[in-house]
Structure 1
Amino acid sequence: MDETRVRRELREAALAHRPDHARILARVERGLAAPAPAARPIRPASRWNGRRWTAVVAVTAAVAGVVGLGGLAATTLGDRPAGPAATVPAPGPAARVVATLDPGSNRWWSQNDLALTTDTPVTGLTVELRVARTAGVVSTGHWRTRPAEDFTVTVDQEPGALVYRWTLKPDRTVPPGPHVFAGQYNHAEGVRDASADTYTVVLTGGDGGRSTLRGDFGAAAGR
């Protein structure tokens, strides 16, 4: 049959077709009224042998482990804030201290001398002298070779010691060289054992470096 003719006849049949709306509606109503078809039985899953199932579980666990570890690494390393840069404290000023009992001390009165030698300028300085509370110890004064207006000086009566403290004021500087700090006190008559007397010296340089020197007066004796 000629193709052109076939197409023409199909087109004419389509144009001439008139749907039967009444019949279509009746079929829809019969479909709604009909009981629901029975559910199809669920097909049981096929059985895998134990060896094959074990292999699948192992592969799945391995993949999950790799993915999990990868995610953890990305979170830990990627989201971790950068820590502060490591800094090394600057070394403090070089200094030396010699603790001696002043030669002018006697059987009723003594003076403890701290001879401090600094090699570089010092912008912060605290000198603490602790005279052990032996019998009759009472402060009679103090002095230093640096200008008095450069320091704040305190004398504290603690239960176990008489404490002299010299603190360099802000914006003041101690130049390189020898410096002496002395604490004076009365004591009971006789030879006083100064071995329990101690000192602490804290120095700060212009770059912020800090040094701390500690010691005692050894077996020095009063007169």
Structure 2
Amino acid sequence: MTMQRDVHDELRARLHEAAEAHEPDRARILARVERGMAGPGRQRSDHRATRPPLWGWTRIAGATAAVAGMLAVGGYAVASAVKGDTPAQQQTVSVSSPPVESPEATSRPLASPRATPSSGGGASPSVKPHVPPSKSARATPPTPTVTMLPAIDDDRDGPLWSDGSVDPHSNDFWAQSNVTLKTSERLTHLTVQLKVAQTGGVSRAGAWRSLPEDDFVFSVVERDGFLVYTWVLKEGRTVAEGEWVFAGQYDHDRGGRDARNDSYAVSGRSEGGQSSVGGDFAPHDAG
């Protein structure tokens, strides 16, 4: 009994190995079937000519079914022999062949994801090209709103004192006009305005002030033949007691420039009330 069991186990192991290594040659089997079918046909060519075409296809289908049945029976016999060694749970993975695209599908351009149906029914989607707006269509920044201060010919008022002068570093092509302001009290509101007459080629070239830049809203515009520089103290900011300078820079035509028509005006508020000073650019003596 032990010897028979060993022989049976050995036979089962060999059948198991043969089942794993077995790969049926389908091409060779089909070739043999075709040769078998072609032989009798040559011997009885006269009889096949009288048969309807349906019998030829029937024979091919029957032979194919027979081959498939042989392969299935052989696989079942081998599987039955090694059934005892097959694991309890066996997973089967089926692999499908990759899809084949037709030449027509690969030759067509890809549709844009932004394509939208046209207004006409049944029309193909169309993509509208992006056209950047022209420079003329772009919005231009608005001109700052400037409140013109009235002309004042008084360099002293309350805690304020002022002076206007052309900077000595000005030259034949460029100039700087300085407005010097003194205050003996803390200011809670302040507006300084400088007007430079258009004497020919006058254009803005810069500006500065000795107080913090972030404390003021600055603008420069052309108004009624003047280049107008304006500094306005922001809400909640203050100006301490002391002497401060506001300067406007500009280019002009070549040669010495006459500043007789230039002017400035200053409006400030302190605890003592509202004060206003102004004048031209002739030198003044400090009191």
TM surpasses 0.5:
yes
Q: Runs of 5+ in structure 2 lacking a partner?
A: 1-156
Counterpart residue type for residue 184 of structure 1: Q
What is the deviation of 1:217?
1.1
Q: Tell me, in whole angstroms, the C-alpha distance in 2 between the residues paired with 1:201 and 1:159.
A: 20
Are 2:253 and 1:188 aligned?
yes
Counterpart of 2:195 in structure 1: which amino acid?
R
SS of residue in 1 equivalent to 2:193: strand
CA shift for structure 1 position 159: 2.9
Instruction: Determine which of 137, 141, 162 is the counterpart of 2:227.
Output: 162
* CA offset digits 1:79-138 (Å, max 9, x no partner): xxxxxxxxxxxxx75111111110110000000001101111000000000000110000
Q: Which residue of 2 is the match for residue 212 of structure 1?
A: 276
1:124 counterpart = 2:192: no
2: CA distance, partners of 1:113 / 1:194: 12
Pick 1 or 2: higher relative contact order, CA cutoff 8 A, min separation 6.
1
Partner residue in 1 for 2:207: 142
Q: Percent identity?
A: 43
Kindly provide the amino acid, as one letter, of the partner of residue 280 in structure 2: D
What is the CA RMSD across the aligned residues, in angstroms? 1.3
Q: Secondary structure at the match of 1:129?
A: strand
* 1:12 alignment partner in structure 2: none
Is 1:133 aligned to residue 193 of structure 2? no
Distance 2:224 2:278 in 1: 21
Q: Secondary structure at the match of 2:214?
A: helix
Q: Which residue of 2 aligns with 1:18?
A: none
| Cα distance in 1, alignment partners of residues 245 and 202 from structure 2 | 22
String of CA shifts for 1:20-60, please: whole Å, max 9, x gaps.
xxxxxxxxxxxxxxxxxxxxxxxxxxxxxxxxxxxxxxxxx
- Rounded to whole Å, the distance in 2 between the matches of 1:143 and 1:102 is 13
Rounded Cα–Cα distance in structure 2 between residues aligned with 1:99 and 1:200? 10
Aligned equivalents of 1:96, 1:212: Cα separation in 2: 9
Residue 213 of structure 1 aligns with an amino acid whose one-letter code is: V
Distance in 1 between residues matched to 2:208 and 2:158, nearest whole Å: 23
Name the counterpart of 2:110: none
Corresponding pairs, count: 127
2:162 is matched with 97
Amino acid across the alignment from 1:205: S
Answer yes or no: is the 8 Å Cα contact 2:160–2:276 preserved in 1.
Answer: no
1:1-223 aligned at under 5 Å gives the runs 93-207=158-272, 209-218=273-282
State how far apart, in whole Å, the 2-side matches of 1:171 and 1:193 are: 39
